[in-house]
Every structure is written in C-alpha cells, then in structure tokens.
Amino acid sequence: MSAPRRAVHPKSRKLFQRAQAVLAGGVDSPVRAFRAVGGDPLFIRRAAGACIVDADGRRYIDYVMSWGPLIHGHAPRGLVRTLAAAAARGTSFGAPTELEVTLGDRVRRLMPWIERVRFVNSGTEAAMSAARVARAATGRDRIVKFEGCYHGHADPFLVKAGSGALTLGTPTSPGVPAATAADTLVATYNDLGSVERVLDEHHGAVAAVFVEPIAGNMGVVPPAEGFLAGLRALCDREQVLLVFDEVISGFRASAGGAQGLFGVRPDLTCLGKIIGGGLPVGAYGGRRDLMELVAPSGPVYQAGTLSGNPLAMAAGLWTLDRLTPRLYRRLARLNATLAAGLADAARAAGVPLQVNAVGSLLTPFFTRAAVRDFQSACTADTAAYARFFQGLLARGVYPPPSQFEGWFLSAAHTERDIAKTIAAARETLEEMG
C-alpha cells in the first residue's frame, strides 16, 4: 500500500502563512482551512465553468462550487455582463429598487408557499430572522432543530443535544449563553418519534421546528419517505410552525426546492446560496400573516444596510431565470453517473463506501452503515476521507475538504469532468484499499 500522492502548492502555502498573520485562523470561514483533511488550503486565483485555478496555476474540477450557490458554474459570461451593467448603475442605494421586487416575484413564483419575502445578506441572517418571527408569532421561546442540521451560526442554532434525560440543548460553541441554548431542543433527523417526544415534553412551549428538508451539512442525507409530511402533521397537531431551511436545497433539489419536490408546505422558508448566484444574499419568507409581523408592517425588528443590494439581486435574478427542467434532468444524470462511479470504484478497491445522492448533491461516506442521520454519518472514517481528498486533489479534482459536506454539481460540469473524476477516484481508492 503506497501513500496517496500529495502535491505541493508553494504559492498557496506562502499566502496561507501571510493570511495567518492577518486573518483570524488565516481564513474567513473555518472549513476553508482544510483542518479536517490536513495540508494547507489552496488559495484560488480565478475560476471558469466547472474549473478553479489555484495560486500555483494548477487547475481542478471543482465540486465545492462556493458551497452551493454556483448552479450555473463559475463566472458564466451572461452573469458577468449583467453584474458589470448593474455596477455601472450604482452598487448600493439604501433605498428600494425594482430588482428586489422582480427577484421577490421570481421566488414567489418558484415557491408559491412564500407569500411574502424579505431579503437579507446570508443564510445565517435568514434563519436567525425566521426564528425571531416564529417566536413572535407564537409567543413561545423554544425551537426544535435536528442533530447534524446546520442553520448558520446564530446563537440559537449552535446547539447540540444535552446529556441524559434532558432534551434541552447545550452550546456547541463557547460564547453561546447556556440560557439561549436551553431554548433549543434537539431531535434526530428522519426520526419522527424523536420529534413527537420533544414536542410532548415541551407541550405549548415550542415556536417552531427547523429542518433542512434535504440535510446537507452532515454530508448529504435525504429525508426518509414520509418524514417531511410527518413533520407537517406533528407541527399542525401541536400548533408549532414548520420552518424549512432551504439554503442548500432551495433551487437545487428542484426549481421549487425540496418543498416543491416533496409537496410539503412549510410555514416559513430560509433561502441563501443559489438565490444570490454567488453574491452574498439570503432570504426568509412564507405565510403572509407571519411575514407581516416583520417591521415596518409589524413589530418584529429586522433590518440590513446592504439588504437587497442591487448587484446581489441582479445576480440572483440572472441565476433563477435559468433554472430549466432540462438543467435539473442533466444535473441528476451527471450526479447519478458520479455516484455510481464512486461506488463501483470503492467496491473494486474493497473500500467500504456509502454514496448518498439526491438531485445534484452527493456525499461519499467512508462507512459500511447506511447514513440516514447524524449518528450514522459519524460512523464514517474521516481519516479515510482525508486520504481520498488528498488523492483527488493531487489528480486535479477539488472535493469538499471535509467528510461531512455535500459535493455540488453545476451546469458547467461535463460528462468528461465526471469521467475524469471517477478515474481519479478509482486510482486513489486502489491506493487506499
């Protein structure tokens, strides 16, 4: 057994040294630092289509795609032109623009359960604001989330299950007050019984259940048959709001998101990533009566200096206007080919691998166990993933630098990219097996 090839990246390494002297931890978001896979992070110089080029001039087929927003690939020409034209008209006004109305209209047309929408600047802001609205609407403080689901880094969501019989959450980060975490209750993904128990135990105290309708932040985990509909029924029974965090699945699972795909109605929806086409945008929206609680029509305060930014709105509009059925068919085909190719390569090499794939998302988990929740995701061998990652990177493929992330396909990925990726995976897995 030989160690996987490991490339050197002298310019990225130098940049990371400089970065560590000026940026906290050398990066602006932790996963970028490659801590989960080892080695120095690549600094990216430019990108086009499905390819990124690092500071050392090496090219990679990209499966990070900015963690999801780039469903049409990097720097599509039409988007670049649209952005240039928008910038020439002014980059920010702090006043309403037609672009916000038009994009809001597009969102509503694609997700009809969003009767009113508010644009913000990130998925974090969307989830934080949706929690505030849910609490205001119900007069209750507690929220339920699922272990392994991510809703951004606002305090109420940086919470894991408490120990013992208590279902009250405990902080996953210092700096989150214990009192805040105690208002977050943690249930098990794909386990309606766990939700029922939490709602029973905290009857009359829960404002909302937050869920990623397709989990993407413990690696990709699709909802089990009936799970989302079951959540809807439980929430109706307990008069609890159901909030779909579609920051990843929105406009990716289908043009209408997971709610369109599965036909389950959330009361509120959080959006991000694709909705900004690679610029910083988030949004939350839903039932009109709930959204009218938000200032200025209602008392729930939420604001943003750059919210509805015209460049971001223009990018979102360009992106949403190109979500054709053909695009989703093509993405699903490529994803199925990639998933099957990875699974076959692992089988041939005798490496245990479970590939979870849905739509244009997949995660290869290095485990024998079926992955359907956080606990089973945690059976994955993260050291094996790290070796797989390094082997692919050395062969010109850039997968997410963590086992517990989704791989993202885009319109720019080709059959040839997929074939090259499978070949690189086959070589790497043979070395590992």
Show which residues are catalytic: 150, 245, 273
Contact 412, 73 (CB under 8 A): yes
Instruction: Identify the burial level of 249 via C-beta atoms within 10 angstroms of its C-beta, where 0-12 means exposed, 13-18 middle and 19 or more buried.
Output: buried
> What's the CA gap between 260 and 251, in Å, rounded?
10
Q: Which helix (H) or strand (E) holds 45?
A: strand 44-48
Rounded to 10 degrees, the C-alpha dihedral 335/340/345/348 comes to: 180
104's enclosing H/E stretch is: helix 98-110
In whole angstroms, how close is the CB of 384 to ligand PLP at the nearest point?
A: 24
* Paired residues of 189 in beta bridges: none
Q: Which is nearer to ligand PLP, 248 or 300 (CB)?
A: 248
- Distance between CA atoms of 11 and 143, rounded to whole angstroms? 46
Cβ within 8 Å of residue 69, ≥6 positions away: 273, 274, 276, 277, 278, 319
Order of all β-strands in the sheet with 206-211: 116-120, 282-286, 268-271, 241-245, 206-211, 142-146, 184-187
- How many whole angstroms separate alpha carbon 138 and alpha carbon 218? 30
Minimum CB–partner distance for residue 391 and ligand PLP (Å): 26
- Closest approach, Cβ 267 to ligand PLP, in A, equals 17
Q: Nearer to ligand PLP by C-beta: 124 or 335? A: 124
* Residue whose CB is less far from ligand PLP, 272 or 400: 272
Least gap, CB of 251 to ligand PLP (angstroms): 13
In degrees rounded to 5, what are phi and psi of residue 113? -75, -10
Our CB check for ligand PLP shows the closer of 409 and 424 to be 409
Binding site for ligand PLP (CB under 6 A): 122-124, 127, 150-152, 212, 216-217, 245, 247-248, 272, 282
254 versus 390: smaller Cβ distance to ligand PLP: 254
- Closest chain position to ligand PLP (CB): 123
Of residues 162 and 280, the one with the C-beta less far from ligand PLP? 280
CA distances from 14 to 8, 17, 22, 389 (A): 11, 5, 13, 21
Contact in structure between 242 and 231 (CB atoms under 8 Å): yes
CB of 56 to ligand PLP, least distance (A): 27
Closer of 282 and 391 to ligand PLP (Cβ): 282
Least separation in angstroms between CB 312 and ligand PLP: 12
DSSP state of 155: G
Rounded to 5°, angle at Cα 129 from 322 and 145: 90
Cis peptide, bond prior to residue 310, ω within 30 of zero? no
Side chain identity, residue 175: G
Minimum CB–partner distance for residue 282 and ligand PLP (Å): 6
H helices within 355-396, ranges in order?
Answer: 374-377, 382-394
Query: What's the closest the beta carbon of residue 19 comes to ligand PLP, in angstroms?
Result: 20
Of 167 and 217, which has the nearer Cβ to ligand PLP?
217
